[in-house]
Amino acid sequence: MKLIRKLLFIYSSFMLLFVTGCQSPHETHEAEHVYQVTKPLVKTMTLNDEYVCQIRAIQHIELRSLEKGYLQKKYVDEGQLVRQGQILFQLKPNIYKADVQKSKAEVEFAKIELENNQALVAKDIISKTESAMSSAKLAKAQAELEMSQTHLGFTQIRAPFNGLVGKFGDIRIGSLLDEGTLLTTLSDNSKMWVYFNVPEVKYLNYMGRKQSNNSQTVQLRLANGAVYPYAGTQEIMESDFGNTSGNIAFRATFNNPDSLLRHGETGTVLWPKVIKNAIIIPQKSAIGILDKKYVLVVDNKGVLHEREVVIAEEAPNIFILKSGLRPDEMYLLERQNSLYKGDKIKYKVIDPQNVINHLDLYAN
């Protein structure tokens, strides 16, 4: 029995050694990962400051009745383009025509009376004073005639300038209009004024660019996201900052040859600014902690060092740095949760231009 047990033990040991010898040694370490690093891209860029804006016609007025009377006729329709001097509305002129005829008769009577009195003065029958009074009476009658003709003219409402007719007020043919009743609006849309508010810091930057003789043209992005095809010119600004907002109002002028822009529209002013020798990194390379941004700088030995960077400008997918990273320094392209400062890595350097080209940028 002891012999059998001894033989079984020898057999088991032999089989264990055989199986162990047939297996490959287990690798305890995975292949070391190679991380992508790059350097900041340095180039001149044009970015846009964006401001919500209100679009206004250079002339936009309300047309109101200047006299009381019945609306006799409308010569135009809403949205119609009209020319300066064109008749838009007609009030019944009967009463005002009668006033004109009455005033003309009074002028004729005053003329005859003056001629008679002048003849009597020549014969020393009446004094020169009476003749002078007749002359004054004629002047008064002529003034009243001009007034009545003016009132008659007010029964025809004409366009004071070229423009588009707006929505009609609550009026119909035959409506009795009081003096001052709103008829419609009229807009001259040949050029448009675009108003937008600029914070104090941006205003100071603008003044610096202005002194450098940089272009002051702006673009306009419409409500549907399309950029208006014609550039505008920044012209004036208000004299004061708002007490509560800290902003100052600017105005830009845009030509509107296709009549695309209308009074009351909204949009976004795109004010370009040129940044020379901008130091650019992808946003994905930085991590935010509270209000600060950090990148992992990689030295020549592959050791990671955490570095705070100060952001000067932000654009889609990129940061433009104010400080914190030199153009010749390498940094980790994408932050990894498994990496910390002091870690040593193997790395591969990626060309900065290729990095930026693969980002979804609109900046030049």
What are 116-162's pLDDT values in tens digits?
A: 878 877 777 777 787 788 788 889 888 988 998 888 888 889 999 99
- What burial letters (b/e) apply to 166-178, b meaning 16+ CB within 10 Å? bebbebeeeeebe
Of residues 152, 153, 182, the one with CA closest to residue 168: 182
pLDDT at 209 over 60: yes
Question: To the nearest whole percent, how much of the chain has pLDDT over 70?
Answer: 88
The architecture CATH gives domain 34-45+276-357: Beta Barrel (2.40)
pLDDT at 150: 85
**Alpha carbons 79 and 74: distance in angstroms, whole number:** 14
Which has the minimum average pLDDT: 204-213, 281-290, 318-327? 204-213
- 214 versus 225: which is more confidently predicted? 225
Residues of the chain with CATH 1.10.287.470: 93-154
In sequence order, the 6+-apart residues with CB closer than 8 A to the CB of 136 are none
Residues of the chain with CATH 2.40.420.20: 34-45+276-357
pLDDT band at 270 (very low <50, low <70, confident <90, very high): very high
Residues of the chain with CATH 2.40.30.170: 49-58+187-274
pLDDT at 91 over 50: yes
| Mean of pLDDT values over 293-313 | 93
| Mean of pLDDT values over 202-217 | 71
The architecture CATH gives domain 49-58+187-274: Beta Barrel (2.40)
**Alpha carbons 18 and 12: distance in angstroms, whole number:** 10
pLDDT at 210: 67
| Mean of pLDDT values over 337-342 | 86
pLDDT at 219: 95
- Cut 0.85: pTM above it: no
pLDDT at 28 over 80: no
Rank 39-53, 97-111, 226-240 by mean pLDDT and report only the highest. Answer: 39-53
| Mean of pLDDT values over 79-106 | 90
Q: Hey, how many other C-beta atoms are within 10 angstroms of the C-beta on 33? A: 11
DSSP string, 7-36: HHHHHHHHHHHHHHHHSPPPP-SPPPPEEE
CATH no. of 93-154 = 1.10.287.470
| Mean of pLDDT values over 260-269 | 95
pLDDT at 185 over 90: yes
**How does the average pLDDT of the chain come out, rounded?**
85
pLDDT at 224 over 60: yes
pLDDT at 13 over 90: no
Which is it for the CA torsion 85, 86, 92, 97, positive or negative? Answer: positive
Which has the minimum average pLDDT: 110-119, 148-157, 262-271, 319-328? 110-119
pLDDT band at 8 (very low <50, low <70, confident <90, very high): very low
Tell me which H or E stretch contains 351.
Answer: none
Residue 232 phi, psi dihedral angles, 5° rounding: -110, 165
